[in-house]
Structures are given as structure tokens and as C-alpha cells.
């Protein structure tokens, strides 16, 4: 079934992209925006607008939006703030639907009047506004990179909405290094018009997005945000990093984006009720999102730990207890199955210790036993590098096993260079692998929390 049309469709699925303030000068924002759109491979027409040029990057350049011959829908605006409202009027007159306003110089510097004028033009001419004071928008399924960040954006299923531009741009590069795939990356800046709630509403029905991650400093309309978040959380998880937890942090927020950070405990309680998962920091948020991006949903609580290292097994057991993950007492038939993949001095109880002499073959057998047994709902695999095992072969086995089952699986690999390579293989093939047992456990705990909250939301 195709989805109904939505006012924000042109932001993600534009028929064409217009760049007002497109520049010939490398190093300028208007140049980076144009070259990113072209190099990342947007398929539709691209129209640069700048009265100074006849052409830029072999494309005909237009003096104003009104001179563009074709239809327009998405317009990126990167000109000095004073002139933006008037250009919004021209965009509306030409039939443009959404303006991505990169320009700074509005509310965040005390120019509330200019931001109000911008919004009035938008309302009067029927143009929705993203920003101002943003680095742009990217949507990988449509090969759209209308940002002045790095050109490459790794494709995947995490949508990231960020109120901090610099953090968003920095994370674009970081996600590539970490092999984390994004469906969308949206800079919201001052949120003069389009806000988190509007974006969540669109992303709820986006088949390419499996989890939404939000960095926020403040919410414009809390009631609307929570109402939408509640609906989205029933379908896909929302992970929020809410900055401004401390008194000083709140002050920093107000001078950064002009938002009111609000009482931290109020946010936490409201998030919980709406099914939102609150992460403490960027690392945690992306750890969780990597597991959610597998698209798996919790099937139950009972979890087994399978390891070749007693110590990491104990650490993970503690972490499971602290994070409310229920460890299964394996029934006898399952213990027997586990025992066939370990020497007599191993342990078939949970944590299942297949011992330091295990190779990828024993891991495969033990994990397969857990996958096949109905009593097991989640699997944690912990590997410590030994000279008798090959982490790369194990990574390949786990990737396949993870694909073969609906049960959530996470892993932690600890070791040297080959382990780093194995981690890369797993991340590249969307198997959630982490450098420490605690991070793997916390990611699974977040998924189980979402499962519990989702059940409660369904009952309301």
C-alpha cells in the first residue's frame, strides 16, 4: 500500500532541488551545498540561483527563483539572513513547498523580529520552513545530500534529527568510520516552523527508517511532541539525547539555540510515558540505534549469554542484573545441547561458558542451539580473542546466524587487530557488535525497555 501524501514529502522526496546562494567559490557554503547535491547523486533536476552567474558546475544558473523554467518543490537557501524572508515569498509564488534555511542570524542572535518575518512569509506563501540556522538535510534512499557536511553519507536505517549543527556535521563523518548507516539526517536548528514532532510524524511511515534518534536541547510544543512520539513509539523506537541536564547546561542551551531546556526530571518522566528511550550520551544513543536498525523487535525477556571467557561472562551477568535483563535458567534439553559444544570443564548454565578452547565451530553450535530453543528470546555472544580461535570466521558465522533468526542478538568482541577487523565485518553487515560486554548488554536492555513500553502504549 502506498503511503498518503504528506506536506513534508518534498523535504525527503523532492522532484528537484533549488539552491539559492549557490556559489562558484570553493570553501563557501553555497558551493558545498551545490557540489554535495551533485556528487552524492541526486537524480532530479538541480537549479542553482545566484544573480552573479550564467552557469555553475555546468548547470545553468538563474538570477532568482522566479526565473527557473521547471517546477520546484525543495529550495535550499544560503544567503545573508536579512534577504531570506523576501526569497521565501518568491519561492511560494513559484510553487515551492519546503525551504531549507541554512542562514544564521535569526532568533539565536536576538533577531526574533527577523525570524517572525521569515515565518510570516512562509505562512503567507504556503512554504514550510526547516531551520533557520542549520546545516541542511540528507535522505539516503533518494541520494539527497543537501548539507554542507561531508559528501558521503552511509546508507542505512537510522534517522537522526539534530538541533546542534556542529554535532550533526561531526557525526556524519563519524558514522562513516563506525560503519553506521543513516536513512535521514535532519538539522533542525531554531525550529521556527518544522519541528521534531513534524519530522517524527513523517518518519513514522518511512519504510527506510527503523529507528529515530534525536539530539534536542528544547521542545517547542511539548504536548504535540509527546502525542506524536507516543504513536511513533508503538511502531518504531525513538532514542533521545536531551542536553541541558544541569543548571549550567541549561544556560548553555539558551545561548546556543535560544531554547528553554526545562526541568530535566520532567523531561525524563514525560519521555518514559511516551515510550521514548533517553540515552545519556552520543555513544549510548548510537549503540542502541545500531541494534534497533536491524529492525528486530523484542520477542520476550529470557536471555542467554554464550562466551569463551568466564570473566566477561560474569561482567555481562552483573550488567544484565543491573539493566533488568532476565537471564534464563536453561532447561535440561538445552543444557544438554550446549554441553555437546564444550569440554567437560565448561558450563552449560547461564552464562554458558564454552571455554577458552572453543573455536568458531563450538560458538556456532552453541548459538544455533539457543536460536532453535523456544525458551531463549535473546542471545548475547561474548568473545575474547585466543590463539586457537579465528575472530573473523566467528564474525562471519554470527552475521549469518543473526540474519537467520528473528531473535535479537548482540555481541562483544575483545582483542587485538583481528578483532578490530572482525568488528568491522559485523558492523558492515548490520550485526550489532560492541567493544565491551557492558555496551552490548545496555543496547539489548534498551530494546527490551522499548518492548515493555510499547506493550503499555498499545493498551492505552
Residues of this chain that interact with ligand ACO (CB under 6 A) are 20-21, 23-25, 28-30, 49-52, 78-80, 83, 87, 102-105, 133-135, 165-166, 169
User: What is the grid cell recorded at 93?
Assistant: 509564488
Between 28 and 393, CB nearer to ligand ACO: 28
CB 201, min distance to ligand ACO, A: 24
Between 147 and 355, CB nearer to ligand ACO: 147
Q: For residues 300 and 337, what is the distance between their CA atoms, to the nearest angstrom? A: 21
CB 394, min distance to ligand ACO, A: 41
CB 24, min distance to ligand ACO, A: 5
Strand partners, 136: 147
Three-class secondary structure of residue 351 per DSSP: coil
Q: For residues 104 and 132, what is the distance between their CA atoms, to the nearest angstrom? A: 6
Between 80 and 331, CB nearer to ligand ACO: 80
Cβ 16 vs Cβ 45: under 8 Å: yes
Q: For residues 68 and 61, what is the distance between their CA atoms, to the nearest angstrom? A: 9
Count of H-run helices and E-run strands, the chain:
16, 19
CB 52, min distance to ligand ACO, A: 5
Pick from 265, 270, 200: which is nearest to 236 by CA?
A: 200
Pick from 157, 261, 172: which is nearest to 210 by CA?
A: 157
Strand partners, 214: 161, 240
Residues for the chain: how many in total? 460
Instruction: Calculate ∠ Cα 289-176-161, nearest 5°.
Output: 45
Q: For residues 380 and 307, what is the distance between their CA atoms, to the nearest angstrom? A: 8
CB 38, min distance to ligand ACO, A: 16
Between 187 and 293, CB nearer to ligand ACO: 187
Q: Max CA-CA distance within the chain?
A: 80
CB 118, min distance to ligand ACO, A: 13
CB 276, min distance to ligand ACO, A: 24
CB 22, min distance to ligand ACO, A: 7
Shortest Cβ contact with ligand ACO: which residue?
165
Between 46 and 334, CB nearer to ligand ACO: 46
Query: How far, CA to CA in Å, does 254 sit from each of 94, 102, 113, 183?
Result: 36, 20, 18, 30
Between 68 and 423, CB nearer to ligand ACO: 68
DSSP for 178-238 reads: TT--EEEEEE-TT-SSS-HHHHHHHHHT-TT-SEEEEEES--S-HHHHHHHHHHHHHHS-E
Between 114 and 134, CB nearer to ligand ACO: 134
Between 68 and 102, CB nearer to ligand ACO: 102
CB 297, min distance to ligand ACO, A: 35
Q: For residues 135 and 186, what is the distance between their CA atoms, to the nearest angstrom? A: 8
Between 47 and 431, CB nearer to ligand ACO: 47
Between 103 and 157, CB nearer to ligand ACO: 103
Three-class secondary structure of residue 264 per DSSP: helix
Query: First vs last Cα of the chain: how many Å apart?
Result: 27
CB 80, min distance to ligand ACO, A: 4
Amino acid at each position: 500500500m502506498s503511503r498518503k501524501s504528506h506536506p513534508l514529502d518534498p523535504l525527503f522526496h523532492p522532484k528537484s532541488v533549488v539552491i539559492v546562494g549557490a556559489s562558484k567559490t570553493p570553501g563557501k557554503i553555497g558551493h558545498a551545498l551545490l557540489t554535495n547535491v551533485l556528487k552524492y547523486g541526486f537524480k532530479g533536476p538541480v537549479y542553482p540561483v545566484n544573480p552573479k552567474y550564467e552557469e555553475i558546475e555546468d548547470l545553468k544558473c538563474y538570477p532568482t527563483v522566479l526565473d527557473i523554467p521547471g517546477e520546484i518543490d525543495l529550495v535550499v537557501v544560503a544567503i545573508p539572513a536579512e534577504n531570506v524572508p523576501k526569497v521565501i515569498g518568491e519561492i511560494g509564488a513559484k510553487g515551492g513547498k519546503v525551504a531549507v534555511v541554512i542562514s544564521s542570524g535569526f532568533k539565536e542572535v536576538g533577531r526574533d523580529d527577523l525570524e517572525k518575518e521569515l515565518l510570516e512569509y512562509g505562512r503567507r506563501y504556503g512554504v514550510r520552513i526547516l531551520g533557520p540556522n542549520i546545516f541542511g538535510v540528507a535522505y539516503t534512499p533518494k541520494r539527497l545530500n543537501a548539507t554542507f557536511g561531508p559528501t558521503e553519507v552511509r546508507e542505512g536505517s537510522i534517522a537522526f534529527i539534530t538541533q546542534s549543527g556542529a554535532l550533526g556535521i561531526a557525526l556524519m563523518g563519524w558514522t562513516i568510520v563506525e560503519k553506521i548507516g543513516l536513512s535521514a539526517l535532519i538539522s533542525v536548528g531554531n525550529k521556527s516552523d518544522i519541528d521534531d514532532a513534524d519530522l517524527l510524524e513523517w518518519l513514522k511511515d518511512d519504510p527506510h527508517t527503523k529507528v529515530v534518534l534525536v539530539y534536542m536541547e528544547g521542545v517547542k510544543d511539548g504536548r504535540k511532541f509527546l502525542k506524536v512520539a507516543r504513536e511513533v513509539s508503538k511502531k518504531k523506537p525513538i532514542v533521545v539525547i536531551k542536553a541541558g541536564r544541569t543548571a549550567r547546561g541549561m544556560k548553555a542551551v539558551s545561548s546556543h539555540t535560544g531554547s528553554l531546556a526545562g526541568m530535566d526530571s520532567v523531561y525524563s518522566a514525560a519521555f518514559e510515558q511516551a515510550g521514548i528511550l533517553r540515552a545519556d550520551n552520543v555513544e549510548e544513543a548510537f549503540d542502541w540505534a545500531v541494534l534497533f536498525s536491524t529492525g528486530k523487535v523484542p520477542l520476550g525477556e529470557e536471555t542467554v549469554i554464550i562466551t569463551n571467557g568466564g570473566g566477561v561472562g560474569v561482567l555481562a551477568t552483573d550488567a544484565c542484573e543491573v539493566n533488568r535483563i532476565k537471564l534464563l535458567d536453561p532447561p535440561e534439553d538445552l543444557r544438554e545441547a550446549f554441553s555437546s559444544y564444550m569440554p567437560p570443564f565448561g558450563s552449560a548454565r547461564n552464562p554458558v561458558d564454552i571455554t577458552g578452547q572453543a573455536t568458531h565451530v563450538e560458538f556456532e553450535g552453541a548459538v544455533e542451539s539457543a536460536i532453535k530453543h523456544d525458551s531463549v528470546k535473546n542471545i548475547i555472544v561474548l568473545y575474547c580473542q585466543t590463539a586457537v580461535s579465528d575472530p573473523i570466521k566467528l564474525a562471519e558465522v554470527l552475521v549469518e546466524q543473526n540474519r537467520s533468526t528473528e531473535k535479537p542478538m548482540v555481541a562483544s568482541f575483545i582483542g587485538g587487530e583481528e578483532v578490530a577487523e572482525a568488528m568491522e565485518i559485523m558492523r558492515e553487515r548490520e550485526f550489532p557488535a560492541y567493544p565491551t560486554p557492558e555496551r552490548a548488554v545496555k543496547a539489548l536492555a534498551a530494546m527490551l525497555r522499548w518492548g515493555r513500553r510499547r506493550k503499555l502504549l498499545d493498551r492505552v
